């Protein structure tokens, strides 16, 4: 081989670059597109600030429609619409897995934040830590009330790769401890802000006192959940919460701001009903609760705001919040509720007017000054609910509070929320009853809870009916929880419950077994987490189906309505 | 090297093909036992110096080698027989090394370029269907230019790609899959798959390297096999110009039957706001429909005839080639114009291919190629549940709605007065319910520019040692626009515009040192090589929504706009070597080894080595006279192939986002938990085979294989309790076992009449031997689907999981009090998506200049969830829903409470809507047999051509997907899936019908 040949060969070899094959790849596999913990930035703060909008139940439109609008709103019988099988208690695996995922990611994210915060100076991060602790309970509580036992990982000690399912009782015990600790932290003299910048706290803008009251109100809410399963614990925790200081006025309300930002940033109900065009109907149950109570005349100047169809058929008397909550039907102008849980396939005898969404009342507060109310804040926890919780605690003699005063203050707070305060006096004085037999007048009652011979007008029925109306619609989760705890208020039995579970279609409103009791674990959990899932089902204490009661639901009935 | 020049004489001659008498250029002629030889020129003529008693050995690809005694003749006319058995075939193997097929210890099967251009398909991958044993070709039902899924010997990996590596002229080419389309459509339009860009006219042959042994030298990405494409060169061309043209018409191959008796409504009552046909019998009376006062009757409501058009595809190719002494040149231009069956959609593609080789000095030669491809596509169709999928709309559009009902809205841009699409329902829900809106207003367009090329230098260092240096690239850029028209319901109502770009670049540089030496009966070939692969992918995605000025589709116009950019880079460095030993043309042994260093693995553990061994024994050379057996070979091989991981899986990252008010940054963690300890995955395979040839009429090749994939880099579903949805881990053992059989026969050979018939048959069994210590099930399907496709430990890849009928202990369906079957509420395995076997039967019958070919193929076993039948029955549009409209349907089963025989009569509507969530009902056997290809060609005889300027004239009739011979799926093609990604196996859902294409072929050579 001559030199020329060798030179060309070497040049060629150099051009391919192959001889240097074993070079170091440098940062080639470091993602240039996204930051990681090595960045000079406090991701804990951003992660904590991010959680409120991605938490249950107020979440971006896609998931919220499925888990809230098409499940909880049906189960609480506050709203109806479409022909979704979840209306008659058939599970949609995708929807329930979205919920399961939301809860678990929420808990995990808060755990990461809490572990991450540990690395900083304890004094500086104390308040942020308390907020993360509260929010961790908030998210987990919705999860446990849906499914029963769920994985609830700790943020202390070694990280558990696959956190085990824990019983509802065990989880509730931790809730109370955590909330008490958070209250202690927030009560301490510590002027360090929760977030370095107020705007990251989209709920309370770094107002430590509001967070503290939110924390204790949540504590009270969860304590009252246990009235039927563990009266002593319910009482002790309710007292603790009230003494620590719950919400004191509407200024303490927890609301999630929304924005006119389209997908996932709007007030989702506006998007569902107006943008997507699917009416969210008043249910027959809701119609019966609103009709007649308070003895106030039905306003006749009402019309459907989407179609401008004028009011047609309507009840003579109505709860004044009713016509604000619900517009007359899109097509007929009738003010009436759609039958709950109707599976049209089973009823060839019905005409379309018996179930068509456009023939029934729909959500009526989705316009603001004539334009879609896309930035209506989402209610997370309102002062009126806290008053009704205290009223029930007083009624049960957990506290020495005045049940009547608390009840009436609750009704007034709700009337104020719905802009009908001027009618509150007349309403509270009236003994006119709704179609469940319940009146608004506290003293017009048939006993405290459920004495013999009552007809829908016990004090407990009054409190829970008013609480139910006050929770509409964003907090329907709490309404479903009360329904399972007390079987209150009186609601219709869904017409076509899933026949695999309810082969006998009883319509007895006093039998709590006729209503949905929980959400089935998503199928993929049984597939990808089989052994833990099986332990979870054992903790549940019954088969993984929708009529197995969870721990705090003892199957009590407090409905005394005649039918 | 003795020769006897004293007695040498000059022998000249001409070599022709025995089949058609055409001269054969490029035939290699060797004087037996010497180094003296030559090749025939363009006219098939040669001259060589040889003694009268010497033998000439003539060999040529595709023809049986022939030995001829020189004798006293000075002019020889030799005709060569086509080698139908192809056992002496020279095949292109790993790294572009040409090998005699009989030496190989593994299975390789080739397809010639001609087989791909006759009954051609816009995507060349589809033309491979039925032609290669063990290869499954699954075409996406997304129309022309859609992607195609290729799997060789089953599915090896659970969460990665199961598609083979594509290598064109020695350079890997990206066979990108369009982002996996999910069940919801989500406008993730199928933009085609990589191999489809190559024009079949440029292809000389395709070799399929089926197992890891064949592919071992290609390393990491060859674990699923390799498809080696060899493009044409200008070798041995005296200067030729050829022109070919192909024109085809496309219509659906099969369509479902719809009922035309009942119109829009529910419960037997007319209703202008429902997407179903459960209304009363259509009586022609005028009704207030959502589209106006119209007759309630079945008028022009047939999508296939009243909306779709006849598609056309016209392909023209011009090719020039010439070789002069040490230079060869080839240039080809192909233009394809397609007008798709869906109005307003179509595709065009221009491909330019230039190849040149030059022998620069006695020791240096050059080879270079540049291929430029430009493809433009308009309005690719939407799929699955996407609101713009017109085939989805067709399944629930009431039968009383006619396409002509939309005509009055044409001049108003298909809008009704409120600015929303004219629709057959008052409330849109999520869909335009207007196929004109979907086809003409919500559009998309994509444009791809692709450059594929290489330059190579070959050094002959000594007579036994050579070096090849080569650098090649595959580089494409894609621009993709999507428009949602102003007024669109549900999503993006204000109208939106999205522009995405993607740039892909892969550069492979390699060297290959080859030594070849024979020692008596022992031959040695040794190679040593190195490769550096660098891949860079960058993309942008910009969006503009809520358009202030209607119909202004550009990024500035929207009130909301955002943009995302992304860059991904990876590199693999490799060193490899191979030694091939042969003994007396009977025994062959191949040993290879390769080491890779991959940038996507942890720095301290990024190196991995994998070997292969292959052996073959031509026992007919050892044991002569085995009766009718003229050739027999046993082969066996063992191989291991490693594979790297995906980009950026070693560390966790945050995704920053801003809420719309811009007040605060929110961060989202990845759903996938990073794994800093990731290692390479490994595929191990054993294979054995037998090749037999009985005379020249029957050839048989049987192969058995077992492939195990260990330590797969799995994106594993993990319990959400972990805070993540996926883990990236190394785990699992997936096993594929299979048998392949190739039978080539010539049943009739009588004078000018010849019938050749070949059968490719394969079966594959998949077993998920092991998955993960805690996670025993992996969900393959993406997002919410009616059934889920899973891989479960102890089960098979592709099990279909869904709800079943509740049954009593005797297996009878349980019927509820309403008379409707009850779902048992527990998901179970309802079938498996993978076929049990694939059979292809191809035939060529020729008589003189006339030849007729056809291909029938069959996929048997395997199940499919027929989403179309689910929608079409619950909406009451399919013909099968026409009976029992008035009631009287009693489902066979027992009552739920009493366990008595069911006697409750229901209507068809109650039945079909009642069982619509019971998946078991919609699982069908996916077995199907189809008439895949037909060709009829005539070549003008030389006697006629001699008076014309043409050297060859060939014309023919070609057809693809003529008809379905057998299927159980009620007018739908069970192979028309909505996505080619593995996540959508086993699910059919409102797919576009498979197209039948019929047309003409003309080929002229000058």
Is A46 in Cβ contact with B721 (below 8 Å)? no
Is B429 in Cβ contact with A503 (below 8 Å)? no
pLDDT tens track of chain A, all 563 residues? Answer: 566 767 766 766 666 555 454 557 878 888 988 998 888 887 888 888 888 888 887 777 778 888 999 999 999 999 998 888 999 999 988 899 999 999 999 999 999 899 988 878 888 899 999 999 999 999 999 999 999 999 999 999 998 888 999 999 999 999 999 999 999 999 999 999 998 888 888 899 999 999 999 999 999 999 999 999 999 999 999 999 999 999 999 999 999 887 666 666 788 898 888 877 788 999 999 999 999 999 999 999 999 999 999 999 999 999 999 999 999 999 999 999 999 999 888 887 888 888 889 899 999 999 988 888 988 999 999 999 999 999 999 999 999 999 999 999 999 999 999 999 999 999 999 999 999 999 999 999 999 988 777 899 999 999 999 999 999 999 999 999 999 999 999 999 999 998 889 988 789 999 999 999 999 999 889 888 989 999 999 999 999 999 999 999 999 999 999 87
The mean pLDDT value for B980-999 works out to 83
Q: Is the dihedral of CA A497, A498, A500, A501 positive or negative?
A: negative
Two tokens at B706?
């077992």
Is A530 in Cβ contact with B776 (below 8 Å)? yes
Instruction: Please report, for residues A76, A313, A343, A356, the alpha-carbon distance to residue A337 in angstroms, rounded to integers and kept in the order given.
Output: 14, 12, 16, 11
CB nearest B648 (choices: A29, A275, A530): A29
What pLDDT sits at residue B85?
45
Whose CA is closest to A23, among B216, B606, B222?
B606
Q: pLDDT digit string (tens) for B486-513?
A: 888 877 778 899 999 999 999 999 999 9
Check if the beta carbon of residue A338 is closer than 8 Å to that of residue A282. yes
Query: Residue A339 carries which DSSP code?
Result: P
Residues of A whose CB is below 8 A from B566? 33
Q: For residue A331, give the chain B residue with the closest CA.
A: B426
For tokens 């859902």, name the residue: B989
Residues of A whose CB is below 8 A from B888? none
Tell me the nearest-neighbour CA distance from B540 into chain A, angstroms.
Answer: 12
Residues of A whose CB is below 8 A from B509? 15-18
Is A259 in Cβ contact with B570 (below 8 Å)? no
Q: Rounded distance, CA B703 to CA B106, Å?
A: 9
Distance of CA A477 to the CA centre of its chain: 4
Q: pLDDT digit string (tens) for B245-295?
A: 999 999 999 999 999 999 999 889 999 989 999 999 999 999 999 999 999
Query: Residue B961 carries which DSSP code?
Result: E
Is A91 in Cβ contact with B723 (below 8 Å)? no
CB nearest B660 (choices: A259, A350, A505): A259
Find all residues with CB under 8 Å of B662, minimum gap 6, and list them: none
Q: For residue B561, give the chain A residue with the closest CA.
A: A261
Beta-ladder partners of B792: B777
Q: pLDDT digit string (tens) for B703-753?
A: 999 999 898 888 888 888 888 888 888 888 989 999 999 999 999 988 889
Q: Where are the beta strands (DSSP E) in B88-225?
A: 90-92, 98-100, 108-112, 135-139, 148-152, 165-168, 171-173, 203-209
Two tokens at A434?
């709704």
Q: Rounded distance, CA B736 to CA B761, Å?
A: 16
Q: Rounded distance, CA B854 to CA B844, Å?
A: 7
Percent of chain B at pLDDT exceeding 90: 51
CB nearest A16 (choices: B266, B511, B648): B511
Omega into A227 within 30° of 0, i.e. cis?
A: no
Q: Rounded distance, CA B241 to CA B317, Å?
A: 11
Is A197 in Cβ contact with B659 (below 8 Å)? no
Q: Rounded distance, CA A110 to CA A546, Å?
A: 29
Whose CA is closest to B806, among B717, B915, B705?
B915
3-state secondary structure of B289: strand
Q: Rounded distance, CA B339 to CA B325, Å?
A: 44
Whose CA is closest to A536, among A211, A270, A143, A167?
A167
Whose CA is closest to A52, among A93, A91, A109, A90?
A109
Q: pLDDT digit string (tens) for A306-334?
A: 999 999 999 999 999 999 999 999 999 99
CB nearest A100 (choices: B652, B720, B775): B720
CB atoms within 10 A of CB B160: 20
Residues of B whose CB is below 8 A from A34? 653-656
Is B459 in Cβ contact with A9 (below 8 Å)? yes
What radius of gyration, in Å, describes the C-alpha atoms of chain A? Answer: 27
Q: pLDDT digit string (tens) for A261-308?
A: 666 678 889 888 887 778 899 999 999 999 999 999 999 999 999 999
Omega into B834 within 30° of 0, i.e. cis?
A: no
Q: Is the dihedral of CA A442, A443, A449, A454 positive or negative?
A: negative
Q: Rounded distance, CA B544 to CA B500, Å?
A: 12
β-pairing verdict for B9-17 and B75-80: parallel
Q: For residue A31, give the chain B residue with the closest CA.
A: B648
β-pairing verdict for B558-583 and B587-598: antiparallel
3-state secondary structure of B574: strand
Q: Is the pLDDT of residue B177 over 60?
A: yes
Contacts for A3-9: CB closer than 8 Å, 24+ residues apart: A5/B363, A5/B364, A5/B459, A5/B461, A8/B364, A8/B457, A8/B459, A9/B459, A9/B461, A9/B467
Q: Rounded distance, CA B949 to CA A100, Å?
A: 76
Tell me the nearest-neighbour CA distance from B584 into chain A, angstroms.
Answer: 32
Whose CA is closest to B151, among B988, B780, B985, B993?
B985
Tell me the nearest-neighbour CA distance from A547 into chain B, angstroms.
Answer: 13
Find all residues with CB under 8 Å of B552, minimum gap 6, and list them: none
Percent of chain A at pLDDT exceeding 90: 68
What pLDDT sits at residue A129?
95
CB nearest B652 (choices: A8, A36, A530): A36
Tell me the nearest-neighbour CA distance from B45 into chain A, angstroms.
Answer: 35
Instruction: Supply the mean pLDDT for chain B.
Output: 87
What pLDDT sits at residue A12?
66
Q: For residue A531, give the chain B residue with the closest CA.
A: B774
CB nearest A36 (choices: B653, B790, B823): B653
Q: Is the pLDDT of residue B192 over 90?
A: no
Q: Is the pLDDT of residue B114 over 90?
A: no
Taking the C-alpha atoms of B976, B980, B984 and B986 in order, what is their torsion angle to the nearest 10 degrees? 40
Whose CA is closest to B431, among B439, B441, B423, B440?
B423
Check if the beta carbon of residue A541 is closer than 8 Å to that of residue B787. no
Check if the beta carbon of residue A314 is closer than 8 Å to that of residue A298. yes
What pLDDT sits at residue B3?
41
Is B364 in Cβ contact with A25 (below 8 Å)? no
Tell me the nearest-neighbour CA distance from A355 into chain B, angstroms.
Answer: 11
Q: For residue A274, give the chain B residue with the closest CA.
A: B490
Two tokens at A386?
């806290």
Is A35 in Cβ contact with B656 (below 8 Å)? yes
Find all residues with CB under 8 Å of B114, minimum gap 6, and list them: none
Q: Could you write out the DSSP letters of every residue in A169-218?
A: HHHHHHHHHHHHHHHHHHHSS----SSSSGGG-TTTTT-HHHHHHHHHHH
Q: Which of B101-110, B164-173, B674-683 has the lowest mean pLDDT?
A: B101-110
Q: Rounded distance, CA B577 to CA B593, Å?
A: 5
Is B600 in Cβ contact with A265 (below 8 Å)? no
β-pairing verdict for B863-866 and B987-988: parallel
Q: Could you write out the DSSP letters of every residue in B967-998?
A: ESSTTS-TT-BS-SSGGGTTEE-SPPPPEEEE
Q: Rounded distance, CA B877 to CA B868, Å?
A: 11
Q: Rounded distance, CA A312 to CA A294, Å?
A: 22
What pLDDT sits at residue B6?
43
Residue B144: Cβ-neighbour burial (10 angstroms; 0-12, 13-18, 19+): buried
Instruction: Please report, for residues B121, B139, B198, B282, B931, the alpha-carbon distance to residue B958 in angstroms, rounded to integers and kept in the order given.
Output: 11, 20, 20, 43, 12
Find the helix or strand (DSSP H, E) in which B403 lies.
none
CA atoms within 13 A on the CB side of B978: 33
Two tokens at B247?
């024109």
Is B822 in Cβ contact with A500 (below 8 Å)? yes
CB nearest A151 (choices: B721, B724, B907): B721
CA atoms within 13 A on the CB side of B572: 29
Q: Rounded distance, CA A265 to CA A374, Å?
A: 9
Is B509 in Cβ contact with A17 (below 8 Å)? yes
For tokens 């030559």, name the residue: B38
What pLDDT sits at residue B291?
96
Is B600 in Cβ contact with A29 (below 8 Å)? yes
Is B659 in Cβ contact with A259 (below 8 Å)? yes
Query: Residue A436 carries which DSSP code?
Result: T
What pLDDT sits at residue B4?
40
Instruction: Supply the mean pLDDT for chain A.
Output: 91
CB atoms within 10 A of CB B903: 9
Two tokens at B552?
């202004």
Check if the beta carbon of residue B674 is closer than 8 Å to that of residue B42. no
Tell me the nearest-neighbour CA distance from A143 into chain B, angstroms.
Answer: 11
What pLDDT sits at residue A22?
53
């Amino acid at each position: 081989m001559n030199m020329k040949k060798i030179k060309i060969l070497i040049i060629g070899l150099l051009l391919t670059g192959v001889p240097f094959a074993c070079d170091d790849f440098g940062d080639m596999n470091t993602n240039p597109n996204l930051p990681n913990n090595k960045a000079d930035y406090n991701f804990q703060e951003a992660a904590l600030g991010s959680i409120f909008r991605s938490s249950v139940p107020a979440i971006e439109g896609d998931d919220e429609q499925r888990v809230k609008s098409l499940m909880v709103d049906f189960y609480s019988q506050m709203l109806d619409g479409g022909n979704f099988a979840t209306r008659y208690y058939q599970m949609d695996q995708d929807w329930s897995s979205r919920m399961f995922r939301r809860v678990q990611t929420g808990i995990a994210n808060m755990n990461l934040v809490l572990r991450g915060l540990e690395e900083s100076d304890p004094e500086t991060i104390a308040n942020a830590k308390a907020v993360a602790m509260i929010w961790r309970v908030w998210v987990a509580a919705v999860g446990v009330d849906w499914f029963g036992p769920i994985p609830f990982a700790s943020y202390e000690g070694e990280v558990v790769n696959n956190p085990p399912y824990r019983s509802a009782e065990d989880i509730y015990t931790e809730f109370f401890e955590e909330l008490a600790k958070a209250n202690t932290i927030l009560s301490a003299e510590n002027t360090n802000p929760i977030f370095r910048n107020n705007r990251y706290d989209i709920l309370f803008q770094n107002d430590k006192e509001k967070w503290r009251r939110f924390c204790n109100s949540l504590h009270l809410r969860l304590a009252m959940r246990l009235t039927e399963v563990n009266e002593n614990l319910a009482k002790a925790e309710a007292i603790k919460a009230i003494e620590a200081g719950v919400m004191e006025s509407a200024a303490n309300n927890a609301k999630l701001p929304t924005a006119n930002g389209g997908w996932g940033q709007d007030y989702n109900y506006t998007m569902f009903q107006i943008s997507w065009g699917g009416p969210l109907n008043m249910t027959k149950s809701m119609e019966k609760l609103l009709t007649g109570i308070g003895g106030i005349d039905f306003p006749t100047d009402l019309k459907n705001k989407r179609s401008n169809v004028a009011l047609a058929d309507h009840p003579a008397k109505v709860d004044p919040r009713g016509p604000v909550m619900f517009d007359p039907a899109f097509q007929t102008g009738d003010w009436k509720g759609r039958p709950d849980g109707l599976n049209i396939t089973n009823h060839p005898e019905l005409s379309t007017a018996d179930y068509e969404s456009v023939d029934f009342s729909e959500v009526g507060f989705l316009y603001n000054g004539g334009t879609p109310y896309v930035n209506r804040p989402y209610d997370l926890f309102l002062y009126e609910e806290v008053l009704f919780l205290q009223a029930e605690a007083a009624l049960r003699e957990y506290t020495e509070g005045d049940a009547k005063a608390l009840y009436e203050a609750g009704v007034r707070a709700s009337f104020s929320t719905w802009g009908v305060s001027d009618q509150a006096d007349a309403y509270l004085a009236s003994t006119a009853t709704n179609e469940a037999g319940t009146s608004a007048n506290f003293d017009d009652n048939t006993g405290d809870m459920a004495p013999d011979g009552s007809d829908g007008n016990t004090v407990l029925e009054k409190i829970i009916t008013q609480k139910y109306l006050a929770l509409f619609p964003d907090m329907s989760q709490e309404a479903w929880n009360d329904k399972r705890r007390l079987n209150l208020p009186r609601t219709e039995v869904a017409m076509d419950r899933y026949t695999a579970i309810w082969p006998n279609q009883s319509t007895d409103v006093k039998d709590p077994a006729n209503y949905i009791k929980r959400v089935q674990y998503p199928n993929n959990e049984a597939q990808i987490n089989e052994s833990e899932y099986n332990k979870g089902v054992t903790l549940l204490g019954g088969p993984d189906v929708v009529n197995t009661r969870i721990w705090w639901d003892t199957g009590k009935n407090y409905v005394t309505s005649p039918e | 090297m003795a020769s006897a020049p004293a007695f040498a004489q000059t022998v000249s001659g001409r070599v022709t093909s025995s089949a058609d008498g055409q001269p054969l250029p490029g035939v290699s002629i060797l004087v037996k036992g010497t180094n003296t030889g030559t090749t025939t020129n363009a006219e098939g003529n040669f001259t060589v110096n040889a003694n009268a008693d010497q033998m000439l050995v003539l060999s040529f690809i595709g023809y049986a080698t022939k030995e001829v005694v020189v004798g006293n003749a000075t002019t020889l006319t030799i005709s060569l027989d086509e080698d139908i058995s192809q056992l002496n075939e020279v095949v292109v193997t790993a790294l572009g090394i040409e090998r005699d097929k009989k030496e190989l210890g593994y299975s390789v099967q080739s397809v010639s370029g001609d087989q791909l251009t006759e009954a051609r398909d816009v995507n060349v991958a589809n033309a491979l269907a039925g032609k290669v044993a063990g290869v499954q070709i699954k075409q996406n039902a997304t129309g022309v230019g859609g992607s195609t899924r290729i799997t060789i010997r089953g599915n090896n990996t659970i969460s990665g790609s199961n598609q083979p590596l594509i290598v064109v002229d020695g350079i890997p080419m990206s066979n990108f899959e369009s982002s996996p389309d999910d069940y919801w459509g989500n406008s993730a339009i199928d933009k085609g798959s990589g191999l489809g860009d190559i024009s079949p006219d440029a292809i000389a042959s395709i070799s399929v390297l089926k197992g890891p042994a064949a592919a071992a030298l290609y390393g990491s990405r060859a674990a699923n096999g390799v498809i080696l494409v060899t493009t044409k060169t200008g070798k041995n061309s005296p200067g030729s110009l050829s022109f070919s043209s192909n024109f085809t018409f496309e219509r659906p191959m099969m369509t479902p039957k719809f009922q035309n008796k009942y119109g829009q409504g529910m419960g037997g009552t007319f209703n202008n706001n429902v997407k179903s046909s459960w209304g009363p019998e259509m009586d022609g009376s005028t009704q207030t429909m959502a589209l106006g006062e119209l007759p309630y009757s079945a008028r022009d409501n047939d999508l296939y005839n009243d909306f779709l058009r006849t598609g056309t595809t016209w392909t023209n190719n011009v090719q020039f080639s010439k070789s002069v002494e040490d230079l060869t040149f080839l240039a080809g231009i192909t233009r394809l114009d397609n007008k798709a069956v869906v109005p307003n959609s179509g595709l065009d593609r221009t491909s330019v291919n230039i190849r040149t080789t030059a022998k620069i000095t006695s020791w240096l030669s050059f080879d270079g190629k540049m291929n430029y491809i430009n493809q433009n596509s308009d309005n690719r169709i939407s799929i699955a549940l996407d609101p713009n999928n017109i085939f989805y709309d067709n399944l629930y559009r009431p039968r009383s709605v006619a396409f002509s009902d939309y005509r009055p809205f044409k001049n108003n841009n298909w809008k009704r007065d409120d600015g929303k699409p004219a629709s057959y329902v008052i409330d849109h829900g999520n869909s335009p319910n207007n196929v004109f809106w979907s086809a003409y207003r919500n559009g998309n367009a994509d444009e791809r520019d692709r450059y594929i090329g290489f330059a190579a230098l070959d050094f002959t260092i000594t007579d036994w040692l050579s070096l090849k240096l080569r650098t090649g690239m595959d580089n494409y850029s894609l621009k993709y626009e999507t428009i949602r028209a102003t007024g669109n319901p549900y999503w993006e109502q204000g109208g939106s515009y999205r522009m995405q770009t993607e740039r892909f670049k892969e550069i492979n540089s390699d060297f290959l040192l080859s030594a070849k030496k024979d020692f008596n009966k022992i031959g040695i070939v040794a190679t040593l090589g190195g490769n550096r692969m660098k891949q860079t992918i960058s993309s942008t995605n910009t969006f503009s929504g809520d358009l202030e000025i209607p119909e202004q589709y550009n990024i500035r116009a929207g009130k909301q706009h955002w943009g995302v950019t992304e860059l991904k880079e990876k590199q693999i460095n490799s060193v490899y070597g191979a030694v091939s030993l042969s003994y007396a043309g009977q025994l062959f042994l191949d040993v290879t080894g390769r080491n890779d260093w991959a940038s996507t693995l942890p720095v301290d553990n990024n190196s991995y080595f994998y070997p292969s061994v292959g052996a073959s024994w031509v026992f007919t050379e050892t044991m002569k006279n085995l009766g009718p057996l003229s050739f027999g070979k046993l082969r066996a091989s063992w191989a291991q192939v490693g594979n790297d991981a995906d980009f950026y899986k070693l560390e966790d990252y945050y995704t920053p986002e801003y809420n719309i008010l811009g007040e605060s940054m929110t961060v989202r963690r990845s759903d996938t938990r990073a794994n800093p300890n990731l290692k390479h995955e490994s595929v191990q395979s054993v294979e054995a085979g037998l090749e037999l040839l009985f005379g020249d009429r029957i050839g048989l090749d049987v192969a058995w294989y077992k492939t195990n994939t260990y330590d797969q880099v799995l994106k594993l579903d993990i319990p959400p309790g972990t805070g993540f949805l996926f883990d990236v881990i190394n785990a699992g053992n997936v096993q594929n076992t299979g048998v392949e059989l190739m039978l080539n026969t010539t049943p009739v050979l009588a004078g000018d009449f010849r019938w050749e018939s070949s059968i490719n048959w394969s079966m594959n069994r998949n077993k998920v031997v092991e998955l993960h210590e805690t996670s025993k099930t992996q969900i393959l399907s993406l997002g919410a689907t009616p059934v889920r496709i899973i891989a479960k430990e102890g089960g098979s890849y592709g099990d279909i999981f869904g709800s079943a009928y509740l049954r009593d202990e005797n297996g009878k369906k349980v019927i509820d009090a309403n008379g409707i079957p009850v779902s048992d509420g527990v998901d179970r395995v309802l079938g498996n998506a993978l076929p049990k076997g694939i059979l292809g039967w191809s035939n060529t019958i020729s008589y003189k200049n006339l030849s007729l070919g056809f291909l029938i193929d069959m996929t048997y076993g395997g199940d499919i969830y027929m989403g179309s039948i689910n929608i079409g029955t619950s909406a009451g549009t399919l013909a099968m829903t026409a009976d029992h409209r008035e009631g009287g349907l009693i489902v066979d089963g027992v009552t739920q409470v009493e366990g008595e025989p069911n006697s409750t009569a229901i209507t068809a509507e109650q039945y079909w809507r009642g069982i619509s969530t019971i998946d078991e009902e919609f699982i069908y056997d996916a077995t199907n047999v189809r008439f895949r290809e037909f060709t009829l060609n005539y070549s003008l005889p030389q006697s006629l051509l001699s008076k014309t300027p043409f050297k060859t004239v060939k014309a023919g009739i070609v057809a693809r997907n003529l008809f379905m011979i057998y299927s159980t799926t009620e007018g739908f093609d069970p192979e028309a899936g909505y996505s080619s990604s593995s996540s959508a196996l086993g699910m059919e859902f409102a797919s576009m019908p498979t197209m039948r294409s019929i047309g003409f072929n003309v080929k002229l050579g000058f």
